[in-house]
Amino acid sequence: MHNYTIEQLLPANVFALLLVATRMAGALTFLPGFGDAYVPVRIRAVLAFGITIVVTPVLAARLPPEPKDFADLSALIVTEAFIGGFIGLVARVLLASLETAGAIIATQSSLASAITFDPGSQRNETLPASLMGVMALVLIFALNLHHVLLTGLVESYEAFPAGAMPPFDDMSQAMVRLVAEGFVIALEISAPYIVLGTLFYLSLGLMGRIMPQLQIFYIGLPLQIMGGLTMLMVTISAAVLWFLGTFEELLRNITGMR
pLDDT tens-place string over residues 31-86: 888 888 788 888 888 888 888 888 888 888 888 887 888 888 888 888 989 988 89
In the predicted model, what is the mean pLDDT of the chain? Answer: 82
Contact 104, 194 (CB under 8 A): yes
CB contact burial 221-236 (16+ within 10 A = b; e otherwise): eeebeebbeebbeebb
Residues 6+ apart with CB under 8 A from 257: 148, 151, 152, 155, 156, 251
pLDDT tens-place string over residues 112-150: 777 777 776 677 788 888 888 888 888 888 888 888 888
Question: Predicted confidence band at 9 (pLDDT cuts at 50, 70, 90)?
Answer: very low
Q: Identify the three-state secondary structure at position 224.
A: helix
Query: What angle, 0 to 180 degrees and rounded to 10, lies between the N-to-C axes of helices 216-255 and 127-142?
Result: 30
pLDDT tens-place string over residues 209-254: 787 777 777 777 778 888 888 888 888 888 888 888 888 888 777 7
Question: Per DSSP, what are the bridge partners of residue 115?
Answer: 126
pLDDT tens-place string over residues 172-183: 888 888 888 889
φ/ψ of 118, rounded to 5, equals: -95, 115
Residues 6+ apart with CB under 8 A from 219: none
Please report the pLDDT score of residue 29 as a whole number: 86
Q: How far apart are CA 81 and CA 51, in angstroms?
A: 15
The residue with greater pLDDT, 254 or 160, is: 160
Question: Per DSSP, what are the bridge partners of residue 126?
Answer: 115
Domain residue limits, the chain:
6-255
Q: For 161-181, what is the mean pLDDT?
A: 85
Please report the pLDDT score of residue 12 as a whole number: 57
Q: For residue 58, give Cα distances in angstroms to 76, 160, 212.
A: 20, 16, 73
Residues 6+ apart with CB under 8 A from 35: 28, 29, 44, 88, 92
Q: How far apart are CA 58 and CA 76, in angstroms?
A: 20
Q: Identify the three-state secondary structure at position 77.
A: helix
